[in-house]
A and B are shown apart, each in its own frame.
Chain A
């Protein structure tokens, strides 16, 4: 039981490049979330999903897209990376019962040059 995993762990992009961050959970959780963490800012919600095939915007969604084609996976896409998207990205998930306990992945560090 791996919990929540994120791929890749670290990536360097050039401005304008695109990439996809993958979050996978093996706990059969309904709800999944993408957060970004910047120095001095805490974690902020980018997008979230309350079930397979559904997504919704969080606090800072601009410049990102997401998809939840399979229940266990939640993808975060950057179509045209910008230096302002340099951050650490965390995925989290929670089950339908006792939803208040979120399980976090180890994070993906992204550097956009």
Chain B
């Protein structure tokens, strides 16, 4: 079984600044994907970024990037130039492949962007 740990229940950042959210995971699987999902107050789950474990290059999506350390089983999310719309819950998630493609989520980090 996999476990995903987010050690920061809440964080805050000033608008336009950079913030990093931490995530660690534990697995015996060799092939997997890692994800960051954003959940704003609307409750909609929005995929922010995805990382394939077999890729050494860190994924980036505009202002969002990850620091994937496979040996350390660490997968942090960096948000650059933070915007008010980034205020949300952020969930780290794990998916072993192949298989049922189900997601195992961390407990989330509540991020507040302060104007």
Task: Give chain B's interface residues, CB within 8 Å of chain A.
Answer: 4, 9, 33, 42-45, 47, 50, 91, 95, 97-98, 100-108
Instruction: Name the prevailing secondary structure of the B interface residues.
Output: loop
Q: A41-B107, A42-B108 are in contact. Are A100 and B97 (CB under 8 A)?
A: yes
Q: Is the Cβ of A45 less than 8 Å from the Cβ of B102? A: yes
A31 at the interface (CB under 8 A from B): yes
Q: Is the Cβ of A107 less than 8 Å from the Cβ of B47? A: no
Which of A42, A56, A100, A106 makes the CB contact (< 8 A) with B107?
A42
Which of B47, B100, B107, B108 makes the CB contact (< 8 A) with A31?
B100
Chain B residues closer than 8 Å to A50, beta-carbon distance: 100
A48 at the interface (CB under 8 A from B): yes
Chain A residues closer than 8 Å to B101, beta-carbon distance: 31, 94, 99-100, 102
